[in-house]
Structure 1
């Protein structure tokens, strides 16, 4: 699941390789995240027919193709198609993986297993920019990073094929819901607010992923290979935040925790937009990573706990919200082309403020 986060640092390299404008470069993250809006609900409906294991295997095969394409054919159209495949594969994976885990582990172990999965995903996101920077500096070809991703995916397929899994029945998989019935759940204001925050936080995450290297290059005169490691700092902070947050949320109110961390993120981001100090920027980037680390999981849990009888359908809806990454980046790119990089960053700040405002709609 963490492979999708490579799109942020990769966008900076692709922009340089093909001399793209900010708006054209913004199409790359869009090609990844737009598919979460298109394929989330159909994947939820398909799972009951195809089975959880086969659905996950399908997602891994699509991801393998996405990773191997740029190695043989490196051009802008191929890159767009490759990242589209990555987005489709990741959508199918995120919708089907949690139900597959539920079929493998006991109910008592499920919550811990899913939390551990989010922690591992954060490590993957953190390593992405490091792998890309290593490939660019030592292998003199940044997209050789795709080779490692492809190998890991193929190994995952081999391991999953070797595991015997008892599939759930159609009733257990929620196979009787229709597309319109799932969409109709958004009539509930609580679920609509949850969906809105997920759209915003994913857009914020992708926006930061893409913007941090350029911010460090413009403010501190770093080269791209070094500035890209700022994204790794952000994901390292998110990794720590995910682990610490999982412990704190055992005792603290999720809603109050959500409000506090979002307000901290707003203040830290506002400071980052105004600062030109290298070390202060690093501190603020880390603070934003810590503050944003648990927003997705908190919102996901608030949505599921609100209506446990429709947990499968709500899961598909919340994953569909990941398409927020396709909305914020193109808007940020257009504004950056017209009024400059700092103005484009204001889109992320506005998204943070909006998410913070919505958090006060939830009752503790």
Structure 2
């Protein structure tokens, strides 16, 4: 059953009703088959764009809805509960638009943001490399200025929407000045010299393509530099603070879906003459699952409200990502346990939920990195 919401306005309530309708009628019925076939649902992002759901937290001037992050994240949670691949994809797309929306010039935003927020252009975020994951300042993909272009060489790793995206918000090295030598380029997906490697063979989120992106003398116009040279690491870290909230909301949606499935099964499964939900062992397990889901939701909403008020939220963002993704791993594991042998089969979605819950503990900064961010903030306070 849908989680109860406390939304700030009637308009936000109407929006969430629309999201739930799309989740129920368009996303949920297709999810299992598409994940089984490892098919990327590009048409779902077109639908979300036409429904006004790809630009919720961005300014109306550029085609967004100018909604609080608190509302955007709750919509994202509903989408992830129906289909995690689409929820994570929406979160990644939103983060991919962040650099242009917050650091681009008005001319750049007028040129590209309306199509990005309207669903015509799907985004990807290219920061990580094989030797520069948690250590983002160590990236080595290099952009050399040549007249009105940058010539880019290197390989980006673990890129969501690799090969399917229309643009890649890409962090590149423009000088050897450590983290100060990183810049941000908005790379067109059709750029000659840019190609995707073979898709990674993943445990979960199999409908979402993840691969390396290879830059081989790819020429990117200087007009696609976002911010100034050297601003890239600042842009990347700022993007990640908001992106982590998106992953937290997705993780809560996944956990809510697993809890709903477990409760429904426990009500319908009879042993020793009564539904298994009547047994205290199952009651306590389900109660703990519910407490985990609602606590994680409250945590990401608190961080989002701080962001909406212009307060510092980096520590709270890391806490939300840590709590929500660890919680989703626990809740989905417990859901499999509630279903017993049935939960270990593909006849029920909880085994897929459990597989999908692992990667949110890893991307947008591993949960070990989140603990470091939290601890550093505590030391500095």
Question: Is TM (by shorter chain) over 0.5?
Answer: no
Larger Rg: 2
- Higher strand proportion (structure 1 or 2): 2
* Greater RCO (CA < 8 Å, at least 6 residues apart): 1
Q: TM-score, normalised by structure 2?
A: 0.34
Q: TM-score, normalised by structure 1?
A: 0.36
- Higher helix proportion (structure 1 or 2): 1
